[in-house]
């Protein structure tokens, strides 16, 4: 019968509206209590008691480590949800500058962070929390016997690089220059993960990615170290954002990332800790 | 002579949403024009890379349209004029790329035509042909996304065309192919042209399948939409300038052809 159907539909709608209203009340109550308690708790050494959603924009290369970090952060801070937007650092920086509602930005290079700080988008001075070294990713077993940066320039070797506009591309160009290698890649990918994927799929023979990417591929690709990588290290800065919808959450997440527990997750993923001298922000902005 | 039909009054209930719809569709384009760096525009556009990307875009879109015409018109005829089991399913499959996210299309193409793909492996070993990261790869990606537009409009034109002309031709002794070539094709020419324009415009704007399947390298696979996307990473002004060029080309073509072919009025 159509009437009963309408009635059930109406009942469902009312129920939905009620549930929605209730949950809205609940969340607003939660957030207001969080707001009052966080200011008190912030002073304590255990860090601010935070609630609500924390939106983190992070470089694509941080995806695995940060996903793990987000889960343990949520466990350590009940009532919080960490949402990630992973992508090319430059694109993320652009969307932050254009007003994307983000709380924390973790970039793969000081240059991309500079886009945000130049636009007065950061709430604090960015700090370098980890560094990442380049590595050559090749198919398992290294069928083309690629052992050095120079071997990538051999005829018949297909290489995918990151576009120069993104940090992994900029670092790769630095390394190639240092090694005096004149390389014509078949493609310039828009972030490091897509460069790695092209190796995983076997469409290219090699790509220059980060050590952490090779590690996170879980044995689907092999890594080849090269000496020039030592001079093309990328620093990863992190900052709270000026227009953060959840400033307490932003602070707490950044502190968590830089805590021994957070750094342990990152080093396990293959990141290196910055040496004391290079910890200064904007050191490698050039 | 001066008799005019009384202008029909447009109900407000229709006019208001119609105007809102118009604003919604046109405002972003206005935004592009307002934000455009007009002063530095000549400098932005005089770089060799821009013309390289534009030239590649135009060539690839045209080639993709040509492929769509050669394969799509017969396909549309098959769908409109013949009965065979599973025709509805085939029709749905043909139009799938219309709604499929282009990136998914790119992934699918990579898995089939890539160096390790089902067909790609054979192409590579038998003919030494690899499509990813090549200009023909761009054409393939664009044709995959654009051909359904052509098929749909040609099929629509075929269904609207009276099949009795073809029957008359058949009774006069024309073979089915001759009837198609001499009677049907001229009859549906406007529909074919409209479909070709749509397919061309779609191919010109293709991004997702291209960057996934063909990659991004200036001069080989970097079409305008890819150049716009990468420019946005660190030079938004350049991205706006490039977008303007693409916009101008698209509008010119659509406006120029619409009057002739796209509509009956």
B217 at interface of A, judged by CB pairs closer than 8 A = yes
Size of interface A-B (CB pairs under 8 A): 60
pLDDT of residue A3: 46
Q: Which residue of A has its CA nearest to B130?
A: A203
107-126 in B: which are within 8 Å (CB) of A?
A: 110-111, 114-116
ipTM for the predicted complex comes to 0.76
DSSP lists the bridge partners of residue A105 as A57, A239
Residue (of B166, B169, B145, B198) closest to B80 by Cα position: B166
A165 at interface of B, judged by CB pairs closer than 8 A = yes
Tell which of A139, A158, A183, A188 to mutate to test the B interface (max B CBs under 10 Å).
Answer: A188
Count of other CB atoms within 10 angstroms of residue A250? 24
B191 at interface of A, judged by CB pairs closer than 8 A = no
Contact: B221, A187; criterion CB under 8 Å: yes
pLDDT of residue A25: 40
Per-residue pLDDT of chain A (286 residues; tens, 9 = 90+): 444 454 555 455 444 444 444 444 434 333 333 433 433 333 333 455 788 999 999 998 899 999 999 999 999 999 999 999 998 888 899 889 988 999 999 999 999 999 999 999 999 899 999 999 999 999 999 999 999 999 999 999 999 999 988 889 999 999 999 999 999 999 999 888 889 999 998 999 999 999 999 998 888 999 999 999 999 899 999 999 999 999 999 999 999 999 999 999 999 999 999 875 444 444 343 3
Q: What is the pLDDT of residues B99-152, one digit of tens each?
A: 999 989 999 999 999 988 899 999 988 988 889 999 999 999 999 999 999 999
Strand residues in chain A grouped as ranges (E): 52-59, 80-87, 104-106, 127-132, 134-139, 159-162, 187-189, 206-210, 221-224, 234-240
Cα–Cα separations (whole angstroms), residue B239 to A133, A167, B46: 30, 19, 14
pLDDT of residue B3: 59
Tell which of B31, B137, B211, B234 to mutate to test the A interface (max A CBs under 10 Å).
Answer: B234
β-pairing, A127-132 with A234-240?
A: antiparallel
How far apart are the CA of B66 and the nearest CA of chain A, in angstroms?
A: 26
Q: Does the predicted model carry a pTM greater than 0.80?
A: no
Segment-wise mean pLDDT, segments of 10 residues, chain B, 265 residues: 67 92 93 86 82 93 97 94 90 91 91 90 89 94 96 93 87 87 90 92 93 91 91 80 88 75 51
pLDDT of residue B82: 87
Q: What is the pLDDT of residues B155-169, one digit of tens each?
A: 999 999 888 888 888
Contact: B215, A202; criterion CB under 8 Å: no
Q: Which residues of B touch A186 (CB under 8 A)?
A: 132-133, 215, 217, 220
pLDDT of residue A81: 94
CB A214 within 8 A of CB A205: no
């Amino acid at each position: 019968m159509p009437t009963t159907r309408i009635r059930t539909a109406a009942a469902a709608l009312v129920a939905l509206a009620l549930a929605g209203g209730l949950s809205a009340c609940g969340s607003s109550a939660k957030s207001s209590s969080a707001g009052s308690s966080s200011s008190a708790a912030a002073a304590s050494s255990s860090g601010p008691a935070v609630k609500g959603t924390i939106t983190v924009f992070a470089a694509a290369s941080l995806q695995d480590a940060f996903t793990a970090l987000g889960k343990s952060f949520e466990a350590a801070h009940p009532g919080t949800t960490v949402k990630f937007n992973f992508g090319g650092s430059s694109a993320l920086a652009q969307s932050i500058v254009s007003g994307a509602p983000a709380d924390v930005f973790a970039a793969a290079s000081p240059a991309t962070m500079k886009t945000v700080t130049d636009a007065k988008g950061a709430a604090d001075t960015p700090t370098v929390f980890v560094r990442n070294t380049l590595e050559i990713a090749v198919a398992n077993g290294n069928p083309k016997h690629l052992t050095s940066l120079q071997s990538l320039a051999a005829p018949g070797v297909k290489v995918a690089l990151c576009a120069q506009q993104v940090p992994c591309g900029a670092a790769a160009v630095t390394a190639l220059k240092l090694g005096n290698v004149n390389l014509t890649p078949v493609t310039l990918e828009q972030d490091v993960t897509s460069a790695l994927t092209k190796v995983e799929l076997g469409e290219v023979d090699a790509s220059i990615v980060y050590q952490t990417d090779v590690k996170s591929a879980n044995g689907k690709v092999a890594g080849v170290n090269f000496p020039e990588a030592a001079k093309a290290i990328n620093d990863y800065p992190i900052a709270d954002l000026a227009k953060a919808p959840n400033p307490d959450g932003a602070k707490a997440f950044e502190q968590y990332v830089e805590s021994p527990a957070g750094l342990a997750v990152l080093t396990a993923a293959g990141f290196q800790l910055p040496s004391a001298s290079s910890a200064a922000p904007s050191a490698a902005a050039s | 002579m001066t008799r005019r039909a009384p202008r029909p009054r447009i109900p407000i209930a229709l006019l208001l949403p119609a105007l809102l719809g118009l604003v919604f569709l046109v405002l972003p384009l206005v935004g592009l024009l307002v934000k455009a760096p007009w002063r530095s525009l000549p400098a932005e556009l005089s770089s060799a890379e821009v013309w390289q990307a534009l030239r590649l875009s135009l060539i690839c879109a045209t080639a993709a349209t040509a492929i769509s015409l050669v394969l799509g018109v017969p396909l549309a005829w098959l769908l409109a004029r013949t009965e065979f089991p599973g025709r509805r399913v085939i029709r749905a499959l043909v139009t799938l790329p219309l709604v499929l996210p282009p990136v998914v299309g790119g992934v699918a193409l990579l898995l089939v035509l890539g160096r390790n793909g089902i067909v790609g492996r054979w192409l590579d070993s038998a003919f030494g042909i690899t499509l990813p990261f090549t200009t023909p790869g761009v054409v393939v990606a664009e044709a995959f996304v654009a051909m359904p537009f052509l098929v749909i409009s040609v099929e629509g034109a075929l269904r609207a065309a009276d099949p009795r002309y073809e029957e008359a031709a058949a009774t006069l002794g024309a073979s089915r192919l001759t009837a198609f070539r001499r009677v049907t094709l001229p009859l549906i020419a406007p529909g074919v042209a409209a479909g070709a324009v749509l397919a061309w415009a779609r191919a010109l704007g293709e991004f997702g399948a291209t960057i996934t399947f063909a990659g991004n390298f200036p001069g080989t696979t970097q079409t305008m939409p890819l150049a716009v996307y990468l420019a946005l990473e660190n030079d938004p002004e350049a991205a706006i300038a490039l977008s303007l060029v693409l916009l101008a080309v698209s509008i010119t073509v659509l406006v120029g052809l619409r009057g002739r072919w796209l509509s009956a009025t």
